[in-house]
Amino acid sequence: MDSHPVNLSSNWCSIIRELHLLEVTVADKVQGVVSSSFRRPVRAGSEYQHLTDLNLLMESVSLSHSCDIWIYDLSGDGEFRVKEIRNFLDNLFLPSYADATRWVKYIPIKINVFVWCARRDFLPTRVNLSRRGFLLESSSCPLCLSSEKNIHHVLFGCGLAENIFRRICQWWELDWQAFESFLDWNYWFSLIHLSSKVKALSEGVFSVVWWSIWGFRNRTIYNEMPPRRSVLFDDIVSLSFNWFSSRCNKTIT
């Protein structure tokens, strides 16, 4: 295109001439009057006001005579890295949590994923559904009929949850105390002195407890026949024993 004889008459002559006119730098446009680049004069009214605002902005613009370069200043050394851009965007848009993700190898993956969601309040509690615009018949807890504030009430504050935790602590010969959140449970659990394997097994039991309470809650809401509370603890013990036995190298007694 650069070698095309634009002065010769041809069907493409005017098009190529217009393309050559587009070969201009930003500096050339800024140095002159901005309106000189327009195809027609600026009309009065909003167009003239926009041009005035543009001229005010351009007064503070000063371009150097060096070639254009890319500048990257996230790392401090001027080098561009995709990883740093990704970390920057993740920190900007993704929520952050102080507690690290906990994973117990003695229980199924679905239980670990459930506990991860529960710790971050991602479960469809009535409060969360209401926040998303769902119309609910009641906002009370289906297990104790009190106000269901958040997931912490379902898994810790509800009377059913407290009763189950008492029996679990009695089973494991642990000192029971009332919990109001996962933060309280984390602190209490960190003070327990057990071997690493036994402590991991006990954490697996508590994970099964949370998963069972949530399932019991859902069956209470959606099943025609409400589940029996008297067998919930026995179901937790049975599930824990079966899952541990299939995932441990040694026999569980």
Confidence of residue 251 (pLDDT cuts 50, 70, 90): low
Q: How confident is the model at residue 56 (pLDDT cuts 50, 70, 90)?
A: confident
Which of 34-38, 41-45, 168-172 is most confident? Answer: 168-172
**Which stretch of 141-145, 173-177, 249-253 has the lowest confidence by average pLDDT?**
249-253
Compute CA distances 228 → 28, 160, 166, 232, whole Å.
82, 12, 18, 7
9-41 residue pLDDT tens: 666 777 776 766 666 676 767 666 777 777 788
What pLDDT shows up at residue 49?
87
Instruction: Identify the residue with better confidence: 100 or 178.
Output: 178
Amino acid at 111: I
Instruction: Say if CB 156 and CB 180 are below 8 A apart.
Output: yes
* Per-residue pLDDT at 6 exceeds 70: no
pLDDT reading at 75 higher than 80: no
Tell me, yes or no, if the pTM score tops 0.85: no
Please say if the pLDDT value at position 164 is more than 90.
yes
Least confident of 125-129, 145-149, 238-242: 145-149
Summary mean pLDDT of the chain: 83
Residue 42: per-residue pLDDT: 80
Write the pLDDT tens digit of every residue in 91-129: 887 776 667 778 899 999 999 999 999 998 889 988 888
Mean pLDDT of 71-85: 77
At 22 the pLDDT is 67
| Percentage above 90 pLDDT, the chain | 33
